[in-house]
Amino acid sequence: MRSNDGTTKPRAARWLLAIGCAPAVAFPLAAAVHDGWTPSTPLINQVESQLKLPDGSKPLPAYARYYYGTVEHGHHVLVGEFVSGQTTPGVHVVKPGHIPKILDGGCSVINLKYDTEKKAVIALFCDGVA
């Protein structure tokens, strides 16, 4: 097949060239999504000492508590997911994307978002029930 400049280029070569350019476009988008930070033990202890869990929850020590840090609207946000019955209770600091993703479970799964600059809970709720 002839190109606009009159040379012959196989379709596969043009296809590979297009694929080779795709990661350069996709990479900056992926990097922006994972703008995270690592929460410290003192921060987690401070936040946990102030939490009032939703009605129907078990005591905090009954949950495996997964935490990671992210940035939302210029604020450092501590994100947590507390899971009971499936894993060993305690605190687990993880990278974004390595937190359990459980969509049901009622208060056996609790979700937390905490704004570290405002020192305020943004969200604290139990999962739904299927």
Tens of pLDDT, residues 69-118: 999 999 999 999 999 987 889 999 999 888 887 777 789 999 999 999 99
Same domain, 106 and 44: yes
Same domain, 57 and 107: yes
- What's the pLDDT score for residue 90? 96
Same domain, 65 and 120: yes
Same domain, 26 and 47: no
Same domain, 79 and 25: no
Same domain, 26 and 40: no
- What's the pLDDT score for residue 6? 54
The domain total for the chain is 2
Same domain, 15 and 50: no
* More confidently predicted of 91 and 7: 91
- What's the pLDDT score for residue 130? 62
Same domain, 49 and 100: yes
Output the pTM of the full model: 0.71
Q: What are the pLDDT digits (tens) for 19-77?
A: 333 333 322 333 333 468 999 999 999 999 999 999 999 999 999 999 999 999 999 99
Same domain, 16 and 41: no
User: What's the domain range around 90?
Assistant: 36-126
Q: Are 58 and 89 in contact (CB under 8 A)?
A: no
Q: Are 89 and 64 in contact (CB under 8 A)?
A: yes
Same domain, 93 and 115: yes
Q: In 1-130, which residue ranges form alpha helices assigned H by DSSP?
A: 11-33, 41-50
Query: What one-character DSSP code corresponds to residue 22?
Result: H
Same domain, 74 and 57: yes
Q: Are 9 and 3 in contact (CB under 8 A)?
A: yes
Same domain, 7 and 43: no
